[in-house]
Amino acid sequence: MTPLAAALDELAALLRGARDAWWVIGSAAAWLHGAATSVADVDVLLSPRDARDAMSAWRGDVVVGEAGQRFRSVPFARLEGATLPIELMPGLQVRSANRWVAVWPATRQSVGDVYVPERAELEAIFALFGRPKDRARADLLRGPAGRSSARS
């Protein structure tokens, strides 16, 4: 099992009792959609109450971060001790055109035991983020898939 697949399994187990919808976004979501991209961590959008529950249940270290100039969530928490770090982003907002824009997908599809926004919405999220690495991931999603979305 790859480190990413193991981390996704850990995440699915952690959020099995979640009360609200949640999504994997970022590079892990692009990978789950078949994009040939590297993945250093697993970014997760979820509700504040599910984030609090997950942070309480996590058996490893929980590192709470501060808001940045471009991104903020309340709180931002990095779960250490998984095969890849898991970053919880409840209430995620991104700074765009001099205002804060909430990131909360309207679409949700399962890939195994985890959830991602549908491909077009994930592309739109990457466009909103606007960093070079996000634009590159959006381009990968628009191109031919490098592999199937099955986890391995």
As given in the structure block, the two tokens for residue 100 are 């804060």
Q: List the one residue out of 54, 29, 31 whose CA is nearest residue 109.
A: 29
pLDDT for res 130: 87
pLDDT for res 30: 96
CA atoms of 32 and 13, how far apart (whole Å): 18
What tens digit of pLDDT does each residue of 56-74 get? Answer: 999 999 999 887 888 999 8
- What is the C-alpha end-to-end distance of the chain, expressed in Å? 6
Over residues 41-54, the mean pLDDT reads 97
What tens digit of pLDDT does each residue of 105-132 get? Answer: 999 999 999 999 999 999 999 999 988 9
88, HSE (Cβ side, Cα atoms, 13 Å)? 26
pLDDT for res 152: 41
Per-residue CA distances from 7 to 78, 115, 119 (Å): 13, 14, 21
Phi-psi category of residue 25: left, alpha or beta, with phi > 0 → left and psi -120 to 50 → alpha = beta
Higher-pLDDT residue of 145 and 94 is 94
